Each structure stands twice: as C-alpha cells, then as structure tokens.
Structure 1
C-alpha cells in the first residue's frame, strides 16, 4: 500500500511515528545514500555506518522535521552534514579531547557510539529471543539470523505466509516492549533492522 505513496507523503507519516513509512523510505533511499557516502568515505563500512546513523537520527528526531520538508532534499542535506561533521570531528578530536561538536549537530554521532549501540541492541535481542516461545524463536532466527523472507520460512516450516508474518510481528512487539522503556535510541536501531528484515 505504501508503495503508492510519494516520498514526501512518507516523510509526513514518519513525523506521525508511522513505522511502516520509515521502513518504506529507508528501502527507497538507503542504496542511493550509501553510494553517495561511499564516494567520500575511505571504507565501505564507514559509509554504511553513516547512512544507518542518519536513519536512526531521522527516527529519533522525527517530531522536529519541518512540515514542508522534501524527503530527497532533507535526506541528502542530512547526509552532507554528517559527512562534513565526520571529518571535522576527526580533526577536532586531535585538538580538543572534550569537544562538543557531536552534541551541537542534530545529525551527529560517532561511528564508535553506533557500534556500541548495535552491540547493546544485539544483547537485548538475544535476551528477548530466550523468552520467546519455541516456534516464534525458530521463525525469528530464520528471519533475523539467516535473512529468510516470510515466504521462504513458510515453505521450510510448512506454514502459511500470514502465520509467519504474525509470529514475526509478535516478536517485534516483544522487542519493542523491552526497548521503549529501556533505551529509545536502541528502538530506533531495531526499526532500522526491521527495514532490512521487514515482515510486510
């Protein structure tokens, strides 16, 4: 359904905390943004981290997105500032150990911080998986760990595709419950993962 929405319409929905719109916008833009970042960055992993951080911050600061913002312009401007700040931060760290540069830009966070967040998220996911019913855990593992689509999981386990999607939706709800009160930024990371292993 959201495939018929324009990019700008998706951005408006994201302002209203629509997770599916976030997933759709991510899927439309991440490859283009990654390719752009890769032209400037020395390593593929750095470019990937930069784009992931951009979308995490987009979700975290969704309520501050200007009402008249254009999706493409907004995302590419944000990426440009992230790249600038990435290189500026390296220079500043050499001079000022306690620089506040990362706090002053609304889209700035270090790659190291992102890695720590992802490690923490992985730990929460592992804990949540341990509490899942056996079938849900099996389905979630195939999706999250192995990258199987709902259709592939359904064929492997002799289930309907809708049943698989229901299990994955419940698993995501369980994770959301753990993260919302614990660390909202980690939940943004979860949404980003959901954009990759979407259940829709």
Structure 2
C-alpha cells in the first residue's frame, strides 16, 4: 500500500486558483503556488509536470465539479424538468464552489497556460463535454420532437446562456441571491414552452 500523499492535491489546486483569481494568471508561477500551498516546488513538478500542468488541473477540476451539477440536474425522465434542472445547475454549482465558478467564468484555458492547450487537453475536454451535449440533445428531442439547429439553439439559450449570464452577473458579490434559481426556472420554462414559429 502506498503511503498517503503529504501535500493534498486540492490544497495545491486551491492555492493556484486563489492566485489566479486574485492576481491574474501570470502570478501563478510554480514558486508562488508552492509558497501559497506549502508544498515544495519539487512536489509540484513531480505531480503536475510544470506550471501548465497545475493550472490545467485546477481548471479541469472546476469543470468536473460544474459538470457533476449539470448531470445531476438533467436526471429527470421528463425532458422539460431535466432542462430546468440543467438550467439551475450553474447556480447550484456557484453556491457550492463560487471560486471554481469564477475560474470558469473569467478564464479560458488559453488565458491560463503558456501557449495554447495541446491536443491531449482538447481531446480530454471533448470527452468531458460529450455526455452533457448528449443530455442537451435528449431534452431537446423530448421537448420539441426533434433536435434540429433551431431547437438546439433554443434549449441552449435556456439551459446554458441564461444561467451563465445570471451567474456571471452575480458571481462578484459575496453570495448568490436566494431567489436566483426560482427566477431562472420561470424564465427558462417560458422560453422552452413558447411555440417556435
């Protein structure tokens, strides 16, 4: 049995995220992350390879946390309820981990990394997004009977664009308003149940 890791990965990734959000991506050097997390520089290089590896891991962890909320929101067999659950997922994610939400809202991987994300990162991202895109198509077919471009766009507006904009607006406050999910659900329901002319 391997001995437990001396320096917790989440502590390291939290430190990297804090540096990025507070001081910008350039502030998150390996040395700065090591100092903020208490982990030796050698541990960071051993575990993550380099600065890009640490920041990629922090961004991917935030995305995984968001996607867990989105997939849980989409669990209903009723397509409209699943869509409304997906709509609220961004807000429940923001409530659970506002700093992770801020990381995803404000920074793309290309903003964080030295150079563009590599092919392996792009493939991993595509694989992570595939189940959510399938849920989006499922609820679209369930609501409209088809998943054509206009129907997909309408559902995307309701379950991605609307909550993303609301979360972005409120993420800079100390906490998200308690009424946010209720208002978003009402707006998304109106959008999803309107006739497409």
Confirm or deny a common fold (TM above 0.5).
no
> Which is bigger in relative contact order (C-alpha 8 A, separation at least 6)?
1
**Rg larger in structure:** 2
